[in-house]
Structure 1
Amino acid sequence: MGDLQSLSDLFQNKLFRIPDYQRGYAWKQSQLIDFWDDVMNLQEDRYHYTGLLSLKAVPKSESIGWGNDKWLLDSGFKAYHVVDGQQRLTTFSILMNEIVSFAKGLDINAEKNEDEVVICFQTLKSIRSKYISQKRPPQNIITTYLFGYEIDNPSAEYLTYKIYEEPHSGTINETYYTKNLKYAKEFFIDCLNKLFDSEGLDGIENLYRKLTLQLMFNIHEIEDDYDVFVAFETMNNRGKKLTNLELLKNRLIYLTTLYDDVQLDVIDKDELRKQINDAWKEVYYQLGRNQNAPLSDDEFLRAHWIMYFHYSRKKGDDYIKFLLNKFSAKNIFEKQVVAIDEEIPEVIEDEVDEDDDSIQNLENDIPIEISKLKPNEIRSYVNSLKDVAKYWFYTHFPEQSELTNEEKIWLERLNRIGIGYFRPIVTISLVPELNISPKDRVEFFKAVERFIFLSFRMAAFQSSYKSSDYYRKARALYMREIEISEVTKSLTETATYDMDYAIKNFITRIDKRFSNGDGFYGWRDLRYFLYEYEFEKALLTGIEKLGWKPFTKVEKDKVTIEHILPQTPTKWYWRNQFRQFDEEEIKTLSASLGNLLPLSQSVNSSLQNDSFEDKKSSNTKGRRGYEDGSHSEIEVSHHSEWNAKSILDRGMKMLRFLEKRWNVYFDNEEQMLELLHLEFVNDVREEVPELPLEIIAPGMVDITNGGSSVSTSDLQLDFWTNFVNYCAEIGRTDDIGSRKPLRQNWYDVSIGKTGYHVFLNIIGKSTLRIGLYIYSGEVFTKLEENKETIEQVCGFNLEWYTSRKTSVHKRVLYSTTTDLYDKSKYQESFNWLITHFDKLKEALDAVD
């Protein structure tokens, strides 16, 4: 073990660099919180052991490529690679930079230079010079940072320009790792502000002392290059275990150091190492390109292994063992005899046959010994990783690709349905060198999607069904041993061959779900099917009304797939509409495919018992009506009523869509009826008289004022129907009486204004209201400026400030009280609404 040193001791004439085989910054919120808590809880008279810091001194001869940083080495600084401990040193450097920036940014220091601001008897200039950066005198043009990444690391520029805030950055690529750097910076800015608010400058100074003097590292200098790579492969950084991709990069760079000069001279070693770095730089960029959804390192590495090497199920779970065994020191040191004129093959096989005739001595050739693992094999492998990474990303995020619109649509479908083990072969199909046309790709994507739908979504085969076959085809396609059309044909024929079994298995599975009471609603892939049914209609209109992410998002107490006929119908409308069916049949009807509707906007599950008329129309309960919803909702809203025949007809229509969309063929209509579980709908039944309104299910309101017991929505419809009829009698159908009466408590009236409209309102049993519904804050402000004039002209004072301050839309109201359920007072209420409407419109015309 080495010396125990504080950071003050550690940063004495040293230059620290993260070497090219290291990963980027991996700490996230939990590690940062632990680090901050450790420092905050550290007592002033105690030291905190921070762990082992493994360093490898970099000889001057190896720092030639350090460019503008070399001047500091010439002035007596010593260069070190950080082998273990980079996460902690990075965190310290970010925090120290933020402390300096925070102190400089205080109001009391606004007019001061860094050499005039003091913390703990040290100027900010001296702190920056010791822990962060120095400028090359005398011109101070070059800035050298004491801690950073080697240039080949994609985080190098980000740390310099975005974290240390060096000016003139230009375009900086962001990755998964740079996102972590950005978060750490923002985290410490927030922590410092809170610390200053609670403890003032004393708190900041105490933090600085703890960081520089009380955090102790056990310093271990590694002498041998071999030990460097061994140490890297075995270390863990505070719970952030190295990924297989990180291990493999380290291994490959290590292997470049083992070749003798005959096989790989110094120039070629440097070039091979650069190609490895370039490959990993590209891979990490692509995997972290979508910062909100970074892709898995190990998943990509395994997929590429499937593409590149011979797949066998025996090795299926041991891909990293295979790779680390393939790219191992023993394969460098083990020699085989080869003729000096023999061309080294670049095609990589997962096993090397030592008896291969192609490496036997040829007559008159001079034999030499070379490593079993050739440098070109490493080069070919890493360049393949680099080339494929972009297309792996495109399979996940096709909208960011240069593919045709139709290709993007089908890739999105594959992601929605669950692409599974097909992602490697789909990735390969995008590689330009294979010269696959967009048309052939689309046909291939269609075949993959159909295969998945039939085999896994209908038949529920095991998820590994045929995986070995298509993994092997993936490599064969990549190696140009087969054409994409052969794969497409195989997928189509296999799915068609399995179709009969798939349909029967699907019927059996759905039958079990009906037995459980869920029916089609319990089908795991219902959302995908309903979305595709909706998507076909969207393609015809060019208008997308249903987004996949909102549709699949599950919120507590909300639904995005509605049972049109509720699962447990309680309201009179539904009981009366399905009165000829018993409870078991109603339950079956509710769970059948034709009764399930994708909603463009999730609604509270409590609204599912609304009558069909209420569901069709938007209302004050916070739901958007079918008439204004998805294409599927609009289609359903064209029904004048919803009954058993409606459910059966729509179910059959959807199954015919299934047949057409996935080339599925049911035996006959009887088989389709069996799947829908609706054979009983066509039975001849005796006519059942309508149920009386007095039979009230839970959820109905009982108004006993000389009338029958009816629902609130029925009463609202009655009020507005009589209002519209009254308007017609007095000749007001062109303006206030022009709207169709609905089962809702409001009635909108357009008055020809672009920023607002008038609405009429009945609230509860006794409140009658007229108001303005204003679409934006700007329009509200304009009307508010004319408040006095408006109220003077209309003759009554309005309520201007009932809307929430955060609401974009605003309401201006005027109300009165009456008995809304007393029909004898209807005409009085109607006249009040019409009179106040006319006065309000006159006032608005006067100011607009």
Structure 2
Amino acid sequence: MSELESFSDLFQNKLFRIPDYQRGYAWKQSQLVDFWDDLVHLQEGRYHYTGLLSLKAVPKTETNKWNNDQWLINNRGYKAYHVVDGQQRLTTFSILMNEILTFVKGLEENDGKTEDEIVISYETLTSIRSKYISQKRPPQNMVTTYLFGYEMDNPSADYLIHKVFGEPHSGSMKETYYTQNLKFAKTFFSDCLENLFKSEGLDGIEKLYHKLAFQLMFNIHEIEEDYDVFVAFETMNNRGKKLSNLELLKNRLIYLTTLYDDDQLDSTDKDELRKKINNSWKEVYYQLGRNQNSPLADDEFLRAHWTIYFQYTRNTGNDYINFLLNKFSALNIFEKHIVLLEEETIEPINDDPLKDDDGEEIIEEDFSVNVSKLAPHEIRGYVNSLKDISEYWYMSYFPEHGDINTEEKIWLHRLNRIGIGYFRPLIAISLLPEQNITVDERVMLFKAIERFIFVCFRMGTFQSSYKSSFYYREGRDLYQGDITVHDIIKSLNESVEEDLNTALKNFSTKMDTRFSKHEGFYSWRDLKYLLYEYEYEKAMHSGIKKVGWEPFTTIEKDRVSIEHILPQTPTKWYWRNQFRQFTGDEIKTLSGSLGNLLPLSQSVNSSLQNDSFPDKKSVNTPGRRGYRDGSHSEIEVSDQEEWNATTILNRGLKLLNFIENRWDFSFEGEQEKLDLLHIGFVKEEREDVEEIPEEITLTLDEIPTTNGAEMTISEFQLDFWTNFINYCTEIGRESEIASRSPYSHNYYDVKFSNKNYHIFFNIIGSDIIRVGIYIYNENVFKLIEQQKDKIEQICGFELDWYTSKEDSVAKRVLYSSTTDLRDRSNYHQNFDWLISHYDKLKRALDVVEPL
């Protein structure tokens, strides 16, 4: 172990290369922020220990292939090193140093100057660049040698040189998961330097450069020539940002190529096998990072491929990487087995093969060779398979980028919507051209898989691993050519038929539980998939697509939410009168029944709220739209004259009929459907109940001539909450929501049995109305935050989670809307908004894990 060195010391007459067994640049924002903060907050004259750098000298036999580097190595006395441990820090240093040079050169005051004329910290940019980034070979300066970089057989090599360091004439290049990280680091440091310059000027940039070059200190460890560098790499890299299994396996396979005896694999074949490994990983990482906005997990791909390539068993399924590392191990190279060879000789004619012509016994000689237990062709076959399948693994996620039939793309998108689960390896195999599967056969397979998933998992709620071992093996057998795709399709359909009764019973039991909690179909997590498929079918019939899948799943202003046509809290006269013959519990059941649920854009739902059905159907107010202008499903609902219990029942039966037709099975008659909908009571004969006269609709006790706009702030707030309490009392919600006296504040707290948080209401200014959760300490907030997605799914609206001050012990979670608060004729609408959003928020909090 040497003494501590700075970057300035480290870069004295050295070339650094990231070897092919290394992963690419893996640092992300959190590591970059830490690096920047350490640097910015490092005091002048102080040093910061940055860890150990492990290097291994590259012998001249290898550097002879480094054409652009030869002049520095042979004529300038530079020594070449492979970076075994510390490449993330060295890469980060190089990117930041280059960005400092680029930033300073781009300053307005340096416009038109050469790098020889620009000076920071008493050094020209030319001297800084030649010391840390690159040098040009004189006298023509046509060859540029970069002091730090990747070996050329790596996609990151070109990217670092051309896209990060700015070398011109790059041509086209593939971007991977790792090149995205390089791009992000460059942009990150560029932004940081811009902000530093704004606050501290050029002096701040100079100080930063000095800290970077001279005050970050390392221990430098040179690995001896006879030391096993591959094992060192595995050990060292598991200390920091842990290697992924895919990264670890690449290192292991390259290591194994060095262990074969020359008589089994000569140097040319070793180089070729190593090249195949690198090319395979290059393709794999390109495919996994091909969609820069949604990179695919490398370890998930590696495990999936393992199920395809090797014999899957549940015993080893969760420990696949140990299986692979044991399979591809040094022990299997060193452990030999004898292979007998036949010598090609012309035998004399002899009646007794054990005697020569003189009658002497012939001693048979064994011609044999020691061959490694793990043959080179096994490594070659494995890495070629990884490479070939990676493209179709990507296509299974993003079929729109694949060269496949439109109907195949439709079904692959459908499978991604419903959740492919453990079927993805099988689907990727089915897309391989060498499988010779026709388009029609693939579509039949995709249909059978989707049907199996919907019936067994989405309705039947079977365990997610149900039959996974079986279909992993089916995928491997298909890959090996031992079965046909028709065998798998038949198996899937037979499984659905065998499991159908159990699945429907499970579905019915789960639905009973949901209705007992007054949630009904609304809390079935796959309701969106069902309603989207219903909408999609209508779009196919009409030829007009009105709603895409993305709005169903993203949280944004105009996303789609599933809403109740008959409101969960029916306070308006229309609803109370329309359902007057039913009890409160029956109305809650009707509200959660399948036929009452409709996909709406959130903006529409927020504006319609508890409006009557005629008002929801057709809205004449500018900026708002009703069902008639919505999706196919909304338009279908708007064709109803009235919305009552019978229409809810009929629409529910229609949707269940759609399920039967779409997924090709039958419920056990009408009664089973009524039991599922939970509103069989609609068919009961009941005495007619006299209409509720519209004139007794709840109103304010007295609307004074003075409007809210003419009151002081305190008077208005007291008036608002006083009328809110009266309103809650009249509709029977005073004990739950409005048990506190009104105050002249802009908030009203609603406390309940939970001691960790309560719900509150806000009125802000003259136009903001708000509901929120007030959480008493940060630990409880973090627990609730972990279930953010579930809470928002149940609520049907996006909450603002991060408005509280960072140092605040208590935290607020908010949902706001705009309205005219001061117009007292809007009070009822605003009260309804508060009550309905309270109910949704309270329901979501009750469903999540108790705190």
SS at match of 2:609: helix
Residue 228 of structure 2 corresponds to which residue in structure 1? 227
Q: Deviations over 1:747-803 (max 9, x none)?
A: xxxxxxxxxxxxxxxxx9xxxxxxxxxxxxxxxxxxxxxxxxxxxxxxxxxxxxxxx
Post-superposition offset of 1:64: 2.9
Corresponding position of 2:150: 149
Aligned 8 A contact 1:578 1:586 in 2: yes
Letter of the aligned partner of 1:376 in structure 2?
H
Name the counterpart of 2:751. none
Aligned to 2:375: 374
Decide whether aligned partners of structure 1 residues 446 and 559 sit closer, same or farther in structure 2, where only a CA change above 3 A counts: closer
1:208 is aligned to 2:205: no
Residues 336-351 of structure 1: matches in 2 within 5 Å?
Answer: 336-340=337-341
CA distance 1:457–1:107, change in 2 (3 Å): same
Unaligned residue ranges in structure 2 (runs of 5+): 344-363, 706-765, 767-823, 827-851
Aligned to 1:199: 200
The aligned residue for residue 790 of structure 1 is: none
| Cα deviation, residue 72, structure 1 | 2.1
Distance 1:694 1:704, change over 3 A: farther
- State the one-letter code of the partner of 1:63: T
- What is the rounded CA distance, in whole Å, between the counterparts of 2:163 and 2:619 in structure 1? 49
2:47 aligns to what? 47
Structure 2 residue identity aligned to 1:19: P
* The 10-residue stretch of structure 1 (326-335 or 139-148) with the greater mean CA deviation from structure 2: 139-148
**Which one is further off, 502-511 or 88-97?**
502-511
C-alpha deviation, 1:365, in angstroms: 6.8
Q: Distance in 2 between matches of 1:127 and 1:491?
A: 66
**Secondary structure in 2 aligned to 1:53?**
strand
2:168 is equivalent to residue 163 of structure 1: no
The CA distance in 2 between the partners of 1:620 and 1:68, in whole Å, is 71
Alpha-carbon displacement from aligned partner over 1:583-606 (angstroms, at most 9, x marks no partner): 111111111101100124554557
CA distance in 2 between counterparts of 1:701 and 1:153 reads 78
Q: 1:114 to 1:237 in 2, by over 3 A?
A: farther
In structure 2, the partner of 1:61 is 61
Matches within 5 A, 1:795-810: none
- Cα 1:295–1:128 change in 2 (3 A) is same
Q: Could you list the per-position Cα deviations for residues 156-213 of structure 1 after superposition, in whole angstroms to 9, with x for gaps in the alignment?
A: 1111111011111111221221111111111111111111112211111111111111
Aligned 1:652-801 pairs, distance under 5 A: 652-697=653-698
| Matched residue, 1:588 | 589
Q: Report deviation, 1:364.
A: 7.8
- The CA distance in 2 between the partners of 1:820 and 1:461, in whole Å, is 52
Q: What is aligned with 2:497?
A: 496
Describe how 1:537-616 pairs up with structure 2 within 5 A. Answer: 537-554=538-555, 560-603=561-604, 605=606, 607-616=608-617
Supply the distance in 1 between the matched residues of 2:231 and 2:117 (Cα, whole angstroms): 47
> Who is 2:744 aligned against?
none
Is 2:539–2:632's contact at 8 Å kept on the other side of the alignment?
Answer: yes
Q: Is the 8 A contact 1:626 1:636 kept in 2?
A: yes
Structure 1 residue 690 displacement after superposition: 2.2
Cα distance change, pair 204–141 in 1 and its aligned pair in 2 (3 A): same
Structure 1 residues 456 and 195, CA, compared in 2 at 3 Å: closer, same or farther? same
Report if aligned partners of 1:557, 1:605 keep a CA contact under 8 Å in 2: no
3-state SS of 1:240 partner: coil
- Which residue of structure 2 aligns with residue 751 of structure 1? none
For residues 132-164 of structure 1, give each alpha carbon's deviation from its aligned partner in whole angstroms, at most 9, with x where no partner exists.
011111111111111111111111111111101
Do the aligned partners of 1:52 and 1:218 also contact (CA within 8 Å) in 2? yes
CA distance in 2, matches of 1:619, 1:290: 43
The amino acid across from 1:28 in the alignment is K
Deviates more, 1:670-679 or 1:385-394: 670-679
1:44 Cα deviation (Å)? 1.4
Query: 2-side partners of 1:55 and 1:308: how far apart?
Result: 36
Confirm whether residue 94 of structure 1 aligns to residue 95 of structure 2.
yes
Name the aligned partner's letter for residue 227 of structure 1. Answer: D
Conserved 8 A contact 1:564-1:608: no
1:181 is paired with a residue of what secondary structure? helix
Q: CA deviation at 1:542?
A: 2.7
Give the match's secondary structure for 1:138. coil
Q: Residue in 2 aligned with 1:270?
A: 271
Residue equivalent to 1:761 = none
Whole-angstrom CA distance in 1 between matches of 2:365 and 2:483: 39
**Alpha-carbon distance between aligned partners in 2 of 1:600 and 1:341, rounded to the nearest angstrom:** 77
Q: How far apart are residue 74 of structure 1 and its match? A: 2.0
Question: 1:422, 1:562 → 2: CA distance?
Answer: 32
2:398 is the counterpart of 1:419: no
Contact 2:563 2:605 in 1 (8 A): no
Matched, 1:23 2:26: no
TM-fit CA distance, 1:523: 0.9
Structure 1 residue aligned with 2:452: 451
After superposition, the Cα gap between the structure-2 partners of 1:702 and 1:140, relative to the gap in structure 1 and judged at 3 Å, is farther
- 671-680 or 486-495, larger mean C-alpha shift: 671-680
Tell whether the 8 Å contact from 1:547 to 1:600 is kept in structure 2 after alignment: no
Quickly say closer, same or farther: Cα 1:632–1:259, change in 2 above 3 A: same
What is the rounded CA distance, in whole Å, between the counterparts of 2:618 and 2:158 in structure 1?
Answer: 56
Tell me, yes or no, if structure 1 residue 403 matches structure 2 residue 414. Answer: no
Partner AA of 2:133 in structure 1: I
Residues 455-496 of structure 1, C-alpha deviations (whole Å, 9 max, x = no match): 111111111111111111111111000001000000001101
Partner amino acid for 2:406?
N
Distance 1:573 1:559, change over 3 A: farther
The RMSD of aligned alpha carbons is: 2.3
Structure 2 partner of 1:429: 430
Q: Per-residue deviation at 1:225?
A: 6.1
Conserved 8 A contact 1:94-1:184? yes
Distance (whole Å) between structure 1 residues aligned to residue 661 and residue 532 of structure 2: 15
Check the 8 A contact 1:559/1:604 in 2, yes or no: no
Give CA-to-partner distance per residue, 1:405-457, whole Å, 9 cap, x none: 11111111111111111111111111111101111010001000000111111
SS in 2 for 1:65: coil
Distance in 1 between the 2:319 and 2:449 partners? 26
- Residue 38 of structure 1 corresponds to 38
- The Cα of 1:376 is off from its aligned counterpart by 0.4
| 2:59 counterpart letter in structure 1 | P
Distance of aligned partners of 1:820 and 1:609 in 2 relative to their CA distance in 1, 3 Å threshold: closer
Q: 1-side partners of 2:85 and 2:479: how far apart? A: 38
Cα distance 1:558–1:406, how it changes in 2: closer, same or farther (>3 A)?
Answer: closer
The size of the alignment, in residue pairs, is 689
* Aligned residue in 1 for 2:512: 511
How far off its partner does 1:557 sit?
Answer: 12
- Deviation of 1:556 after TM superposition, in Å, equals 10
Mean CA deviation greater in 90-99 or 605-614: 605-614
Q: TM-score, normalised by structure 1?
A: 0.79
1:128 has 2:129 as partner: yes
Deviates more, 1:236-245 or 1:161-170: 236-245
For 1:557 and 1:171, the matched residues in 2 are separated by 38
**Alpha carbons of structure 1 residues 521 and 557: separation in structure 2 relative to 1, 3 Å:** farther
Residues 820 and 294 of structure 1, relative CA distance in 2, 3 Å threshold: closer
* 2-structure distance, mates of 1:133, 1:392: 39
The 1:399–1:232 alpha-carbon spacing in structure 2 relative to 1, beyond 3 Å, is: same
TM-fit CA distance, 1:541: 2.4
Question: 2:495 and 2:519 mapped to 1: Cα distance?
Answer: 31
Give yes or no for contact 2:314–2:469 (8 Å, CA) kept in 1.
yes
AA paired with 1:583? G
Residues in 2 aligned to 1:255 and 1:128: alpha-carbon distance in whole angstroms = 38
1:259 — aligned with what? 260
The one-letter amino acid of 1:336's match is H
Q: Which runs of 5+ in 1 are unaligned?
A: 343-362, 706-763, 765-818, 822-848
Change (3 A) 1:697 1:261: farther
- SS of corresponding position for 1:126: helix
Instruction: Assess if the C-alpha contact under 8 Å between 2:418 and 2:529 holds in 1.
Output: yes
Structure 1, residues 567-591: CA drift from partner, whole Å, max 9, x if none?
A: 1100011111111212111111111
Percent of residue pairs identical: 69
- Counterpart of 1:301 in structure 2 is 302
Partner of 2:384: 383
User: 1:78-118: per-residue Cα shift (whole Å, max 9, x none)?
Assistant: 11111100000000000110111111111111021000111
Using the TM superposition, give the Cα deviation of residue 686 of structure 1 relative to its aligned residue in structure 2, in angstroms. 2.3
